[in-house]
Amino acid sequence: MVVVSRLTWVERDHGWRAGPYELELAAPLLWVCTRTKRNGEVVIEMTSGSLSALKRRVEKLAHRRWNARRAVFHLTSFVLALALAGIVAIAGSPVTPLLVGVFSGLGLFSILRVFDHVTGRSWESVRFDYQ
């Protein structure tokens, strides 16, 4: 799977930083990744012997977290769209079929986006491997 990084790495005097992540050389051939949480707490995310490998792993981790947040957003919009479609269907007005169709379409779009985020476009990795 090709991960498009949303992180921009900036070199510092003691390591590298991108967003909440900071990479530091703790010992020869030991890079440590720390993340600053919203409450200011610093936690160790992972370690690696190679800076480039650690950057790739952090970018994949950040991408997975971003996908999880987007999946929750789309799942919430799916539930809301279905609830609105149900309320409109019960209300019964002249525009009910149109509104039910619109909300059902939004629900379908949202649930497809949820599946897209959950699977992580796993079918693309097969396509890239066998081209």
CA 96 to chain centre: 35
pLDDT in tens, the chain (131 residues): 445 567 889 998 889 999 899 999 999 999 999 999 889 899 999 999 999 999 999 998 888 888 889 999 999 999 999 999 989 888 888 888 999 999 999 999 999 998 888 886 565 555 544 44
Q: What is the pLDDT of residue 91?
A: 84
What is the Cα–Cα distance from 84 to 104, expressed in whole angstroms?
9
Q: What is the pLDDT of residue 21?
A: 93
The model carries a pTM of 0.70
- Computed on alpha carbons and rounded to an integer, the radius of gyration of the chain in Å comes to 21
Specify whether the CB–CB gap between 73 and 114 falls below 8 A. no
